[in-house]
Amino acid sequence: MAREACRSGIVASVSDKTVWRWLHEDAIRPWQHRCWIFPRDPEFAVKAGRMLDLYARRWNGRWLREDEFVVSADEKTSIQARARIHPTLPPRPGAPALVEHEYRRCGAWAYIAALDVHRAKVFGLCERKTGIEPFDRLVDRVMRKHPYRDARRVFWVVDNGSSHRGDRAVRRLQAKDKRIVLVQGPVHASWLNQIEIYFSIVERKALTPNDFPNLEALAERLFQFERHYESIAKPFEWKFTRDDLNTMLNKHKNGGHSPMRLAA
């Protein structure tokens, strides 16, 4: 950067240390970058607003009743079972556990899960692949359990995955159970789906390091973690509101930058 500044005639001369000091004082890191996505769904505000309203227990301007529930659902695809070539060695005083770098692939699960956002209850299935039938099995499992089997309505918050996308998915689930209200988020808004927070917890707490001799052991770890999580967890303290959403979208509309990550 110092050489380019001199070559371009910006300065006659400047040292590397001076450039470094300027960057440090202004907290600029030109060697770093961050991937992000502009919200391109024309109904982004409307769809995202519905999700945020449900997290606040509101729908169409009215408070939800006690027998109405909000469930966030999605799929975590291709969770591999990796059997390490050498057994993992446990931690010792002053030394971490040792996990062999090389491994043998033992297959992979698609973990399909639903989270009751107001009760911190988790329902998960391990399937060989994602799709309509596996997702419907998850829906059936939830809707058969108390208190959902006696609910007035159950709102299912989902993204745009192929198993729950579009009007066809709405009609399919309504035909299965008229109490189901499928709430589809906008494109590139998985960060608004609370099940993604649970998936990130699962990744850190239950799947790292990945050392499973077979798929059965991997599935058992996931199901054990579900039970453990329910015993200690509380609903997420969701603070991103409609006002925050409008502020973020206005910044993008006006060409500004927002710290909110628009991740797929």
Which pair of structure tokens corresponds to residue 246? 């409008």
Rounded to whole angstroms, the Cα distance separating 136 from 115 reads: 15
Q: Do 166 and 211 reside in the same domain of the chain? A: yes
Pick the closest to residue 123 from 66, 71, 78 (CA basis): 71
Read off the pLDDT of residues 92-117 as tens digits, 9 standing for 90 and up.
999 999 999 999 999 999 999 999 99
Instruction: Mark whether 59 and 127 lie in a shared domain.
Output: yes
> What is the rounded CA–CA span in Å between residue 226 and residue 223?
5
On whether both 21 and 118 belong to a single domain, the answer is no
Q: Are residues 9 and 131 in the same domain?
A: no
11 plus 61 within the same structural domain? no
183 occurs within a structural domain: yes
For residues 6 and 92, membership in a common domain is answered with no
Nearest CA-CA partner of 154 in 133, 173, 129: 173
pTM of the model: 0.85
Per-residue tokens: 14: 């400047």
148-179, pLDDT tens digit by residue? 999 999 999 999 999 999 999 999 999 999 99
How many other C-beta atoms can be found within 10 angstroms of the C-beta atom of residue 250?
11
Give DSSP secondary structure letters for 17-57. Answer: HHHHHHHHHTT--TT----------TTHHHHHHHHHHHHTT
In order of 56, 159, 193, 205, the CA distances from 263 in angstroms are 22, 12, 11, 22
253 domain residue, yes or no: no
Decide if 66 contacts 58 (C-beta within 8 A): no
Of the pLDDT bands very low, low, confident and very high (cuts 50, 70, 90), residue 37 is confident
247 assigned to some structural domain: no
Domain count, the chain: 2
Q: Are residues 123 and 26 in the same domain?
A: no
Is residue 249 assigned to a domain? no
Same domain, 73 and 96: yes
Neighbours of 67 (CB within 10 A): 13
Query: What range does the domain containing 230 cover?
Result: 44-238
Dihedral over Cα of 205, 192, 72, 165: its sign: negative
Residue 261 within any structural domain of the chain:
no
86 and 20 share a domain? no
If asked whether residues 78 and 192 sit together in one domain, one would say: yes
In a domain, 6, yes or no: yes
pLDDT at 257: 54
Q: Over the stretch 13-25, which tens digit does the pLDDT of each residue have? A: 999 999 999 999 9
Q: Is the pLDDT of residue 141 over 70?
A: yes
pLDDT band at 259 (very low <50, low <70, confident <90, very high): very low
Identity of residue 10: I
Same domain, 156 and 217: yes
Helix (H, G, I), strand (E, B) or coil at 63: strand
Q: What is the CATH number of the domain that holds 105?
A: 3.30.420.10
Same domain for 153 and 57, yes or no, is yes
Among candidate residues 58, 63, 49, the one with its CA nearest the CA of residue 241: 49
Q: Look at residue 233 and tell me if it is in a domain.
A: yes
Cβ–Cβ under 8 Å, residues 228 and 189:
no
User: Which helix (H) or strand (E) element contains residue 157?
Assistant: strand 153-158
Answer whether residue 264 is part of any domain.
Answer: no
DSSP letters for 91-155: PBTTB--B--S-EEEEEEEEEEEEEETTTTEEEEEEESS-SHHHHHHHHHHHHTSTTGGG-SEEE
- What are the residues facing 109 on neighbouring strands? 79
